[in-house]
Amino acid sequence: MNSEYLKFLDTCWIDYIDSTPSARKINELLSAEGEQIINDHIAFRTWSDSPFSIEHFKKIFLDWGLVHGGEYLFPNKKVRAIHLQHPTDTNIPKIFISEIQWREFSPEFAKITSKVISQLSKDGDLLSMMQKKICWDLRIEEYETLSLESEYGSWLYAWGIRPNHFTVSLNSLKKFNDILKLNAFLKEKGFTLNSIGGEVKGSAQLLLEQSSIMADRMTVDFSGTAKNIPSCYYEFAKRYQQNNGVLYQGFNEKSADKIFESTNAKS
């Protein structure tokens, strides 16, 4: 595998646990149980019609040797997504990139988003973008205006382009290979699962079961106003074999739609 991609994933993890202390804690708890964790996928959120739209974003990963895996639509959230995967090795983490169709929202929503996008660097350099994180002035009124129409849109405004979640592959676990058992363990340790649409999303028949914790909350400085808002969350996925004996590598729109809500402000 392209070493730049693996280095990128390491950088992402460091950035991610910084704003997602629960992920670090769960990682440590599972390691203490003797588990060796492999990530199923890492997810990013971005804006359509921007220097970091899906079209631009995916070129970076294609250059690193991943291939196009699938496309997904979430019409009620005005979000579309794709996933990229390694051509042969299912142990290499996949990338899930979703994109908000911000022009389809109200003029006010589009105006705020357009102002943010105009401040993004035009070179599409993902690594330097992630290092800079937020290069626009965060304003609480703007965050709240966006969140009235889209929790996704307000999350992206506050956090920028960075990993939204990492996902533990249950297939790599020994003791916690069963999603119900893992969920019970997480609850016993005090974590709150996303129960929107049920704690387990998907099924063995659909070849993919997923669960997630609700996002951690962090205090963010909105130009002088501190506000405690959802940051990132940790997800768990178990994949099943297709008829050809290969593990299913795709995603389920209905499940992902509910998992997006792990960053909802009301929990």
**116 counts as binding Ni ion under rule CB under 5 A:** no
Q: Which of 43, 82, 97, 214 binds Ni ion (CB under 5 A)?
A: 43
| Region near Ni ion per CB under 5 A, out of 138-146, 151-159, 182-190, 232-240 | 232-240
Residue 260 has a CB neighbour count (10 Å cut-off) of 23
Alpha-carbon distance of 83 to 230, in angstroms, equals 24
Residue 145 or 167: which CB sits closer to Ni ion?
Answer: 167
Residue 48 or 164: which CB sits closer to Ni ion?
Answer: 164
Alpha-carbon distance of 180 to 86, in angstroms, equals 28
Q: Please provide the distance, in angstroms rounded to a whole number, between the alpha carbons at the two ends of the chain.
A: 39
Give the shortest CB-210-to-Ni ion separation in angstroms: 7
Alpha-carbon distance of 29 to 126, in angstroms, equals 31
Size of interface with Ni ion, in residues (CB under 5 A): 3
Give the shortest CB-237-to-Ni ion separation in angstroms: 7
Residue 142 or 209: which CB sits closer to Ni ion?
Answer: 209
Residue 144 has a CB neighbour count (10 Å cut-off) of 12
| Region near Ni ion per CB under 5 A, out of 98-106, 126-134, 163-171, 187-195 | 163-171
Tokens of 68: 């196009």
| Region near Ni ion per CB under 5 A, out of 1-9, 43-51, 155-163, 238-246 | 43-51
Q: Are 147 and 153 a contacting pair, CB within 8 Å?
A: yes
Give the shortest CB-148-to-Ni ion separation in angstroms: 25
Residue 193 has a CB neighbour count (10 Å cut-off) of 18
Q: Could you give the residue ranges of the DSSP H alpha helices within 101-175?
A: 107-117, 126-132, 140-149, 151-159
| Region near Ni ion per CB under 5 A, out of 35-43, 69-77, 148-156, 176-184 | 35-43
Give the shortest CB-40-to-Ni ion separation in angstroms: 8
Give the shortest CB-93-to-Ni ion separation in angstroms: 11
Q: Are 155 and 217 a contacting pair, CB within 8 Å?
A: no
Give the shortest CB-167-to-Ni ion separation in angstroms: 5
**151 counts as binding Ni ion under rule CB under 5 A:** no
Residue 147 or 263: which CB sits closer to Ni ion?
Answer: 263
With H, G, I as helix, E, B as strand and everything else as coil, classify residue 105. coil
Q: Are 194 and 258 a contacting pair, CB within 8 Å?
A: yes
Alpha-carbon distance of 164 to 225, in angstroms, equals 23
**235 counts as binding Ni ion under rule CB under 5 A:** yes
Amino acid at 232: C
Give the shortest CB-77-to-Ni ion separation in angstroms: 14
Residues forming contacts to Ni ion in the complex (CB under 5 A) are 43, 167, 235
